[in-house]
Structure 1
Amino acid sequence: MRATWSAMVTVLVAALATGCTAVITGTAYPAPGMKPRPLAGSIIKEVLLDGTALSRMLDQPFAADPELPPRFGGSDELSGAYVLSSPVECVGVVAMLQRAAYQSANVTHVARESWWDDGDSGKVISVDEAVVALPTAAEADALFTKFSQQWDTCDGTVLTLRSARLSFRDQIEDVRVANSVLAATVSEESTSGSHSGTIPEARAIGVRVNCLVEVEVAFYSAHSQSDQGSGEVSTSAIDIARTMMEKISALS
């Protein structure tokens, strides 16, 4: 909680004439033998899903978080809020865009947006999504491999997450990798202030071309069958990550 797109197709006559692009069942892809173009600059903002797409995927309405407007920039958009946490090597599993996790990477651009439940009752509290661009696909793949190994060692860990004002106790579970998406389930319990209870969260990181996408979906701890939404802790973050990855492919 801390932090379905489908490409519209036109007939690419000129591109096909030069052999630069092939069109397959409604989505534009690089022609065989052509390497995808790395994404850089503000174009990465187009990878983020809007409220309409998220509402369609999770079957409940979402509105932009007024306290967390869309962010775009360089590595300065990474967060150093939880440097006091322990074990620090697992902070990147439970919190988005942690500077400690990306410190060895040459991050060029970061885009991030947050969304909140905009209905009377739903299964999902919030969705946080981000895309991180690196100079090359090889660097992105290497970082994804590093994250996969790191998350695996954190599976089953109870993390004490601390910032200057807040603290949480996070249980990391069910770490897995499938089709270029790394996922985990986090049970978050506030240990500061008047808030109590445990919030289930779904985390996912995907890699495509030179970009990594990060997703965090926070769920209400209790809900009834009548609550709106199709969100699932085990699948929703993964589905959102894969949709963002398809947008990267279309933009590359």
Structure 2
Amino acid sequence: MRVADRPALHIAEVAKPSPVRALDQILPSADELTTMLGAVGLMGPLVEGGADMLLHSVGEADATPADCVGAAYRLQKVVYDAGSARTVASRSWAGGDANGPSSTGAFGVVQFATPDDAQEFFAAAADKWHRCNGQTLVLQRPDAHAQGASRITGVAVDRDTVSAVVMHDGGSTVQRALGVASDCVVDVEISDVAGADPMGTHDAVAVVDLMLQKIGMS
């Protein structure tokens, strides 16, 4: 066979692994939260590491419907295990005044192996949140003899964000929001001691937008 007759050799492009990021720099600062949420607050300690830093609050068989866990609870291992989560960083925040705390928040960022992995995870999560709109997530923990319910409402899906209002049966109402940029998914939860915010998920989405901007600059 002549060289000219040989079939052309095609080399598939290998997905480039994500660069190492300083994930703590993506999280909001206390000053930024004071400006955005209108309350002076204190940040909790930074928690960072591998995928083992994801939370284990909800077990695989604890929730019905299981696909709604991500909308109701932040940074759960049972949710992110479906993707290729590589590193995680998170911090909590409590804001208020002399009369006590007025709101609290928890902010996390999960870096995936590649941007495609992050986008795929976000697309699947947004679809699940959309299908969970108006549903009640029931938690049952037979070992702890405990049961709880969370009502998921107001789900809104945008190009790179998804948000929801979650009413837990303990009386708390929280704003939940996810966002994606490059190889990272950001995961935000904000609660207001006074009850549901008339602006819906405005605060949580604003914090997500801030974190996504930081990813773009890192």
TM-score range with shorter-chain normalisation? 0.7 to 0.9
Moved more, 152-161 or 165-174: 165-174
Q: TM-score, normalised by structure 1?
A: 0.72
Aligned with 2:52 (options 76, 85, 100): 76
Asked if structure 1 preserves the Cα contact closer than 8 Å seen for 2:177 and 2:201, the reply is no
The alignment status of 1:205 with 2:187, answered yes or no, reads no
The alignment status of 1:174 with 2:154, answered yes or no, reads yes
Asked if structure 2 preserves the Cα contact closer than 8 Å seen for 1:200 and 1:233, the reply is no
Indicate the percent of aligned positions where both proteins have the same amino acid. 24
User: 1:49 aligns to what?
Assistant: 28
Deviation at 1:38, TM superposition (A): 4.1
CA distance in 2, matches of 1:59, 1:73: 31
Q: Where does structure 2 lack aligned partners over 5 or more consecutive residues?
A: 1-16
User: 2:129 aligns to what?
Assistant: 151
Q: Name the structure where strand makes up a greater proportion of residues.
A: 2
Aligned residue pair count: 198
Deviation at 1:153, TM superposition (A): 1.3
Asked if structure 1 preserves the Cα contact closer than 8 Å seen for 2:96 and 2:102, the reply is no
Summarize the Cα distance change of 1:80–1:232 in structure 2 as closer, same or farther, 3 Å threshold: same
Asked if structure 2 preserves the Cα contact closer than 8 Å seen for 1:134 and 1:140, the reply is yes
**Per chain length, whose mean CA-contact separation is higher, i.e. which structure has more relative contact order (CA < 8 Å, sep 6+)?**
1
User: 1:131 aligns to what?
Assistant: 109
Summarize the Cα distance change of 1:113–1:210 in structure 2 as closer, same or farther, 3 Å threshold: same
User: 1:245 aligns to what?
Assistant: 212
Q: Where does structure 1 lack aligned partners over 5 or more consecutive residues?
A: 1-36, 191-197, 224-229
Deviation at 1:109, TM superposition (A): 0.3
CA distance in 2, matches of 1:232, 1:115: 20
SS for the counterpart of 1:53 is helix
